[in-house]
Structure 1
Amino acid sequence: MELEENIADVDTDDDVNEAEEYEAWKAREITRIKRDRDDREAMLKEKEEIERTDPDDHAGTAKAENIYTRDFSDPTGEDKMDKTILPKVMQVKHFGRSGRTKWTHLVNEDTTDWNNPWTYNDALRAKYNAKMAGMSAPIAKPKGSKKLKDWETR
């Protein structure tokens, strides 16, 4: 019973007029939109004035603005050409110039050397594998030393 009374005390929506609140919000929102639009228009007018003035006066600022608006991922020079239509060997930068290596990277090539002795499966390799430590048999419990056996027999 006491809990229900406390909840009723917290409810403050009884005296609020929703229509008035909505109209106040609407007026605030419209003024905000107008203010944003005016700011944008003022900025555009400033840019137009700068562009209309003598280019010699603002040559440095125009270049600086141009630098900040560039897309640095755009291709330049020879990179603008579509290299996918060329043969695989010619799809590299500076093809045909001196100092250009034939291969782009070893990842593209199979460098497996099948003449390597480690890849042979012959008698010599089997003998070597047999001598490798821990490869012949599982580890067993030590049998004891010869000195200890001699001591026990006395």
Structure 2
Amino acid sequence: METIIKNVRSVTEYRHINQKTLALKSHVSRNTINKFFSPNRSINPRLSTLVNIARALNINLVQLFNKYIDLNDFYDKDMDLEQYLNIFTQNTKLQIRGSKQKFLSSDPGIEESTISSLLSHTTSDPKLSTLTAVSVQLDIDLTILFKRGGNTI
């Protein structure tokens, strides 16, 4: 989460966007935006929040997860929450191919029903902590799970 917060802060500063404007452009509450800028605030945003913030900053969602952000990178403004979630789900399914999804729920804090809902698309807006936990269990960087053709097998 530290990287995401750092990237949101640096892009808003670079683009001269204040918190109020970011909230308006992203359709995310000012209170939630404020959490990205307040030290010592715990935040576990939903994927839709991150997609909306990335879109408001004119960057791809994946760039929020990168240690170093490239503002000249291609920005696909047509990507939406559903597309990002489909990519994540497909890449996750590719990684657990031959394994049972129960393997993913062996991490404390992730229930098998949560994993099942995520992989069957009955969860339409997961929290970042869930996506990060899947990434950790698979031992694959979150950025790879959100990239088209992110297969690392």
The structure whose Rg is larger is 1
- Could you tell me the TM-score, scaled by structure 2's length? 0.17
Q: Which has the higher contact order (CA 8 A, sep 6+)?
A: 2
